[in-house]
Structure 1
Amino acid sequence: MAPKIDITTYPGNIINGEFVPTPTTRHSIDPATGEPLYEVPVARREDLDAAVRHARAAFKTWSATTHEERAGLVRAFADAIEANRDELERLQTMEQGKPLGLARTEVDMSLRWLRTFATMRLDDEVLDDNEERTIYSTRVPLGVVGAIVPWNWPILLGLGKIGPALMTGNTVIMKPSPYTPYCDLKLGELAMSVFPPGVVQVLSGDDSLGPWLTEHPGVDMISFTGSIPTGKKVAASCARTLKRYVLELGGNDAAIVCDDVDIDKCLPKIATLAFLNSGQICMLAKRIYVHDKIYDRFRDAMVEFTRNHIKTGGGFEPDVVVGPVQNSMQFELVKDMYAQIEKCGWKTALEGRVREGEKGYFIEPAIIDNPPEDSRIVVEEPFGPIVPLLRWSDEDDVVERANALETGLGASVWSRDLARAERLARRLAAGSVWVNSHFDVAPDVPFGGHKESGIGMEWGLEGFRHFTNSRSLWVWKKVFE
């Protein structure tokens, strides 16, 4: 029977199957109320050293387990999470701010991801086989993986690193964001009841912990999701010990809407995927290029839909789509982007507003009407509920504009003419490109970015490979005949 978690208590970091308290604690803030949440540990360097030591010891036996053994424990972990999902979903809404329905979606996805990972395996590939020799390409685990998790999807993106790392035979030390440590600590508590000591450990800390983890000589790989500037620092730190890394970084996704679309059918999804989670998802539609022939009708319909269906409020309120911005730092960044509207003279189709004077970090959606292509709202990822609509009429021109930035995470094309849409889609420089959709992801489909949006891929068998080294195995058959 799965253990039941208490979301109000955090007795320590999870190290080698035990709670390890720290002399110093800290707390995060409920972004909807501004009220402090529970005290959590602040890891010291010696806590990290201990976790690495235990992870390296556990790796010796965990890496020798069979696929079936690992899969059984990963499924048991998923079952333990499911048994506690109500508590985790409420905790997610409290610490992250997302609406409760979206928190449920995140847990649904996380369970599906883990259970799918448990079915996936990297088998040996026979490169050559004859009477004299057999040559295999094999994959071997790297060792200790440091999983650095962001604050926008802490459950899914945490488990999206843990699952592939474990299934490929590695041990994991997960570091949640200081802004959202609670769910990930509880995931570690549940893992403690399932996996052998040292296989899954979780360290909550302050801003020092990430650099300690990336530079630690006993850590063999870093899987990082976060901003582009921080990702560059992670890569530089990893280079000092030549540890492997996968970086899933920011995006500024373009959505190209052609003139033949049925606006009534496609607009609700486009609008929702511009403002979901308060715009705090790296793969949302953040630059919407609308064909000139339908631009005015599309703009007016998007404004009407957003006013009537994109509700802003606390995550426990009914029918909310836009919850609070997650933390004060991001709140100030998004406020500054809203301040540019008046400073730069941008025309607004939907003005939006910052709810000043409230305890929470609430900002209502804004739609910017055809700003200049070099505007900050176009070239920077706002990571908030504000989106520009931009006119286009020439296919070559809109592809060039969509590809012009140094980001390349996702992109989409919307058209009834599937041949036309796929032709345009194949010209877009992004790691994921969708036709007549946006932000579709799956555990068995690789996910990652081009250009400054990342290095390497997560999920799918390609993502699994990043947690392994490639080894060529030559077997000569007749040497001793």
Structure 2
Amino acid sequence: MAPQLEFSTFSNVINNQLTQTTETRHGINPANGELNPPVPVSAQNDLDTATKAARDAFKTWAKTSFEERRQALGAWADAIEANAEGFARTLTMEQGKPLTQSSVEVGMASSWIKGLTSIEIKNNVIEETEDRTVVQRYTPLGVVGAIVPWNFPVLLAVGKIASAVYTGNTVIVKPSPFTPYCDLKLAELAIPFFPPGVIQCLSGDDSLGPMFTDHHEIDKISFTGSIITGKRVMASCAKTLKRVTLELGGNDPAIICEDVDIDTIIPKIGILSYLCSSQICMMIKRLYVHEKIYDEFLEKLVGFVKTLKVGNGTEADTFFGPVQNKMQFDKAKDLFSSITTENLQTALGGTIEDSTGYYIHPTIINNPPETSRVVQEEPFAPILPVMKWSDEDEVVGRANALETGLGSSVWSKDFERATHIADQLQSGSVWVNSHFDLSPTAPFGGHKNSGMGVEWGLNGLLGYCNSQTQWLKKSF
């Protein structure tokens, strides 16, 4: 019988103990501005205690078999599933996304743990003769620091935890200060299934991240977040030569060819541009529509997006919850001001109204210039530029022009043509006739400024390992 969590009190998890700190802080419910429950504010001594526990646990955990780790992670996944309702409610409370989207994220978390642990990591036999064998094997790194963002705090924490633990490492999770609640409960739920020190979680303020990246007892940082912060993480990790995986921002283009069935794809494009109020790094953020169908496409896209409800994520049928925090809300307001200063034409929305929560109604910009801020910047808010194109080479050049390269997509009935265009796009994920498809067994990462290394899949797991070459000679 899986343990049943209560979701009213929140503690750090250090060495399988629930601990508190002298100082506490509150997250804010973005739907109404109300204070969420108190959470710990961890200091250097808390991290030191956790890293010592993780280092001690690593000595034993690294020697366990993949099957033992798979079983422990599978039991934890089942427990997450058994507590799915509490996790979903808490996720909506802290993140703001509609309850339906929170339920999907929590459901993905348990299934993705099992997907990741289905991957086999095998030794690579390079040479085998009568006299000697040369083998490349993969050994765990040690202690992993998992720095989790506020847009998908459950799925992304689980991905980092499962990847680290399955490959024989121990892990300390640092949630975003904006969304600490579910991550603390994930670590609490792991206590019955793992030895002390294997999975820990520390809540803190903005000072805790640099403590992680500076700490000499942490061997790898897995970070998901903004490009600016990612560069700081990498610079800090360089001081101790930590291994680092960075999954950073994107400004994903989607190219719509003139032969598409407009009525069929409009709902897909609309949802894939605005899920989680567009606060997803690989949402469609630049929409290039062929000039032959542009006017009809734009009109029908506006009509569809108008049907999507804006409101508190706990209300039925809500699609647009609030953006997650005041910092993001203020950034969006600043970006929205460029509509006026750059004389852009809106097809939908265009203003941000005062409200008790951080609500932004969906906005569509009609054919802005490529140089406009709404095209050049990743908004992380529901504002979508829609632009005309006519020449394939030119639209590929526009799609590839930015310093980001996370995802991109091409939509056409002509599969060969779409694939030909897709082959030229510079991004870590490229979709044809879809966008945002993901799998725990397929690697995900960015090109250019969108990141370094990958998460998920075999390659993602190997990022939590050292490569070791053994030269095994039978006689001297």
Select the residue among 317, 322, 325 that pairs with 1:324: 322
Query: 1: distance between equivalents of 2:350 and 2:22?
Result: 44
Letter in 1 for 2:125: V
Q: Secondary structure at the match of 1:390?
A: strand
How far 1:470 moved relative to its partner? 0.4
Q: Secondary structure at the match of 2:455?
A: coil
Calculate the TM-score normalised by the size of structure 1.
0.98
How far 1:131 moved relative to its partner? 1.5
Letter in 2 for 1:371: P
CA contact (8 A) 2:125 2:136 kept: yes
CA contact (8 A) 2:339 2:350 kept: no
Question: Do structure 1's residue 457 and structure 2's residue 461 form an aligned pair?
Answer: no
Letter in 1 for 2:405: G
RMSD of aligned C-alpha atoms? 0.7
Select the residue among 352, 355, 378 that pairs with 2:353: 355
CA contact (8 A) 1:121 1:167 kept: no
CA contact (8 A) 1:72 1:118 kept: no
Measured against aligned partners, the alpha-carbon deviations of 1:188-238 in whole angstroms (never above 9, x if no partner) come to 110112111000000000000000000100000000000000000000000
Q: Which residue of 1 aligns with 2:6?
A: 6
Query: 1: distance between equivalents of 2:416 and 2:388?
Result: 22
CA contact (8 A) 1:352 1:363 kept: no
CA contact (8 A) 1:410 1:433 kept: yes
Letter in 2 for 1:8: S
Query: 1: distance between equivalents of 2:250 and 2:450?
Result: 6
How far 1:336 moved relative to its partner? 1.2
CA contact (8 A) 2:374 2:385 kept: yes
CA contact (8 A) 1:52 1:219 kept: yes
Measured against aligned partners, the alpha-carbon deviations of 1:38-79 in whole angstroms (never above 9, x if no partner) come to 000000100000000000000000000011100000001001
Question: Do structure 1's residue 375 and structure 2's residue 372 form an aligned pair?
Answer: yes
Q: Which residue of 1 aligns with 2:143?
A: 144
5 Å matches for 1:337-352?
Answer: 337-352=335-350
Query: 2: distance between equivalents of 1:193 and 1:209?
Result: 27
Query: 1: distance between equivalents of 2:351 and 2:31?
Result: 16
Measured against aligned partners, the alpha-carbon deviations of 1:322-359 in whole angstroms (never above 9, x if no partner) come to 10010000000011111211121100111243231x21
Runs of 4+ in 1 over 6 A off after TM superposition: none
Query: 2: distance between equivalents of 1:467 and 1:296?
Result: 48
- Stretch moving more, 264-273 or 425-434: 264-273
Q: Which residue of 1 aligns with 2:333?
A: 335
Query: 2: distance between equivalents of 1:415 and 1:290?
Result: 11
CA contact (8 A) 2:370 2:376 kept: yes
Q: Which residue of 2 aligns with 1:30?
A: 29
Q: Secondary structure at the match of 1:140?
A: strand
5 Å matches for 1:423-462?
Answer: 423-462=420-459
Q: Secondary structure at the match of 2:272?
A: helix
CA contact (8 A) 1:121 1:168 kept: no
Q: Which residue of 2 aligns with 1:204?
A: 203
Query: 1: distance between equivalents of 2:218 and 2:158?
Result: 19
> Gapped runs of 5+ residues in structure 1?
none
Q: Secondary structure at the match of 2:472?
A: strand
Q: Secondary structure at the match of 2:190?
A: helix
Letter in 2 for 1:21: Q
Measured against aligned partners, the alpha-carbon deviations of 1:7-54 in whole angstroms (never above 9, x if no partner) come to 1112x3100010121000000110001100000000010000000000
Query: 2: distance between equivalents of 1:346 and 1:4?
Result: 52
5 Å matches for 1:213-232?
Answer: 213-232=212-231
Query: 1: distance between equivalents of 2:443 and 2:296?
Result: 36
Q: Secondary structure at the match of 2:284?
A: coil
Query: 2: distance between equivalents of 1:426 and 1:105?
Result: 31
Query: 1: distance between equivalents of 2:117 and 2:343?
Result: 53
Select the residue among 382, 388, 392 that pairs with 1:391: 388
Letter in 2 for 1:404: A
> Gapped runs of 5+ residues in structure 2?
none
% identical aligned pairs: 56
Calculate the TM-score normalised by the size of structure 2.
0.99
How far 1:266 moved relative to its partner? 1.0
Query: 1: distance between equivalents of 2:294 and 2:449?
Result: 30
CA contact (8 A) 1:312 1:320 kept: yes
Q: How many residues align?
A: 476
- Stretch moving more, 333-342 or 410-419: 333-342
Q: Secondary structure at the match of 2:130?
A: coil
Query: 2: distance between equivalents of 1:112 and 1:80?
Result: 12
Q: Secondary structure at the match of 1:286?
A: strand
CA contact (8 A) 1:446 1:457 kept: yes
Letter in 2 for 1:363: I
How far 1:151 moved relative to its partner? 0.2
CA contact (8 A) 1:96 1:151 kept: yes
Q: Which residue of 1 aligns with 2:313?
A: 315
Question: Do structure 1's residue 80 and structure 2's residue 79 form an aligned pair?
Answer: yes
CA contact (8 A) 2:84 2:107 kept: no
